[in-house]
Structure 1
Amino acid sequence: MASHSLDGKSAIVTGASSGIGSETVRALARDGANVALAARREERLEEIAADIEDDHDIEAIVVPTDVTDEGAVEELLTETVEAFGRLDVLVNNAGLTRGGDVAELSNEEYRTMIDVNVDGTFFVTRAALPLLEETEGNLICLGSFAGQYPRPSNPVYAATKWWVRGFALSVAAAVGEKGVAVSVINPSEVRTEFGGDETFEERFDEGEVTEPAEIADAVAFAARQETSTVSELDLFRRDKFSGF
């Protein structure tokens, strides 16, 4: 059972068109929040929005958004406030990986990870903070196991997630006195479209690693906090450390 309902509150979820993002939209809607769905795949967002409005009797808006575009990010915040009148929860979920080994990583692959994972997180957070301060809301960032432990298979991706984690926890120190809660959710492998040539959804069978809905439940739990704050939540598959 939810410790606190999100009835009457509003949320933005970036990367909302699939995986953790789409399941987070569903989890927040289940708890009563109106939700702005942000990603680049508009048709997919429209399908998810229609589903959650039918299932949970909430309002959902679709705002096609490239988080690396500052203008698009500002429009996302504007449309959210116009629709709902406020912002209570921001979920920085948009993220991706490219390439792997540093010596073979192209400039384009490097820049894409920095643009989305780092710059995108910054742009959306910067735009949303004044609104979250007004509502004493919740900022939630999707970190990663890779942002806590060395990741030899893709050091640049890992570095972007170390950045996200460090940024979020430092923002927490800056805005806590203003009543804003900041949480970081750190998954290990999640069975989604995330990945390179082979996605985690293709690589792992159901039940072998974490499912997106499990991460979404953790995000919703963090979003429901009203006084204390969940600083970090680690959700690792149970055998994650068996090879160490």
Structure 2
Amino acid sequence: MHDLSTRTVLVTGASSGIGEATAHAFAREGASVALAARRAGRLEEIAADLAAYDVETLVVPTDVRDESQVATMIDRTVDAFGTLDVLVNNAGLGRGSDVESLSTDQYRQMMDTNVDGCFFATRAALPHLRDADGTLVFVGSFAGQYPRGFNPVYAASKWWLRGFAHSVAAQVGELGVGVTVVNPSEVRTEFGSEDGDPFEERFDAGEVTEPEEVADAILFAARQDGSTVQELDIYRRDKFSEI
């Protein structure tokens, strides 16, 4: 098992929800943590909170849809810590809509974030992860495994993510890089706020998955040394009654 206190971790979408919980989880283990998202002020607040763990942190304001910003994000992380051991591709966007009602702007927002952003970050990080025998974690979704009539484009973006992740694993596994996809169902976060009430307001505590549970799964994947947890599914226990 990897000693996470010696690892450098970069978390995208770190300004709230799963990303914020993941940053805290790694910091508790003593890892150096780079925080990336668009909201610089919020990242600074989280970095201040992580100081309680006496770890090194770096705030890297980044829009993962912008290729040049993503390249800078990776470069700044490696420059600051000398290595990149774990990349958590967590940044994502969901818009609930049927195909006919989804605007082109909404479509582009999702695809640019969930597909392009994931590709840009993975491409820029892979040389460093190879050097470090590192770990690449993708935050997928239940929607990336089962048909979703009410948000098919979001679901398709997560199906793409899973296919991309497993294919990257086939490319870099023999080079020492572990690749894991973590698939939660509903998580009590800001997710869904673009189209109404966020999940953290729609669901009561204990009703669906909490961000910390997903963070624990990501931590488990990052600890593996020499083997890979290919995929972890985190569903509330009554989830399959809906299918």
Query: TM-score normalized by structure 1?
Result: 0.97
- Asked if 1:32 is matched to 2:30, the reply is yes
* Matches of 2:242 and 2:115, distance apart in 1: 30
Write the letter of the residue equivalent to 1:13: V
How many residues are matched? 241
State whether residues 13 and 25 of structure 1, in contact with CA within 8 Å, keep that contact through their aligned partners in structure 2: yes
Q: Give the 5 Å matches for 1:126-137.
A: 126-137=123-134
Write the letter of the residue equivalent to 1:222: A
* Matches of 1:94 and 1:112, distance apart in 2: 12
State whether residues 45 and 62 of structure 1, in contact with CA within 8 Å, keep that contact through their aligned partners in structure 2: yes
State whether residues 141 and 168 of structure 1, in contact with CA within 8 Å, keep that contact through their aligned partners in structure 2: yes
- Residue in structure 2 matched with residue 154 of structure 1 by the alignment: 151
State whether residues 2 and 222 of structure 2, in contact with CA within 8 Å, keep that contact through their aligned partners in structure 1: no
- Residue in structure 2 matched with residue 68 of structure 1 by the alignment: 65
Q: Once the two structures are superposed, what CA deviation does each residue of 1:161-200 show, in whole Å capped at 9, x if it has no partner?
A: 0000000000000001100000000000000000121211
Shift of 1:227: 1.1
Query: TM-score normalized by structure 2?
Result: 0.97
* Matches of 2:61 and 2:26, distance apart in 1: 19
Partner residue of 2:142 out of 125, 140, 145: 145
* Matches of 1:59 and 1:243, distance apart in 2: 43
- Residue in structure 2 matched with residue 23 of structure 1 by the alignment: 21
Q: Which runs of 5+ in 1 are unaligned?
A: none
- Residue in structure 2 matched with residue 43 of structure 1 by the alignment: 41
Q: Once the two structures are superposed, what CA deviation does each residue of 1:34-71 show, in whole Å capped at 9, x if it has no partner?
A: 011000111110111111122x1110000000001111
State whether residues 143 and 164 of structure 1, in contact with CA within 8 Å, keep that contact through their aligned partners in structure 2: yes
Shift of 1:82: 1.1
- Residue in structure 1 matched with residue 228 of structure 2 by the alignment: 229
- Asked if 1:211 is matched to 2:210, the reply is yes
Q: Give the 5 Å matches for 1:162-181.
A: 162-181=159-178
* Matches of 1:117 and 1:219, distance apart in 2: 18
Sequence identity (%):
66
Write the letter of the residue equivalent to 1:131: H
* Matches of 1:46 and 1:166, distance apart in 2: 34
State whether residues 99 and 109 of structure 1, in contact with CA within 8 Å, keep that contact through their aligned partners in structure 2: no
Secondary structure of the equivalent of 1:208? coil
- Asked if 1:87 is matched to 2:84, the reply is yes
State whether residues 96 and 150 of structure 2, in contact with CA within 8 Å, keep that contact through their aligned partners in structure 1: no
* Matches of 1:151 and 1:31, distance apart in 2: 37
CA RMSD of aligned residues (A): 0.8
* Matches of 1:97 and 1:145, distance apart in 2: 13
Write the letter of the residue equivalent to 1:43: G
Write the letter of the residue equivalent to 2:185: S
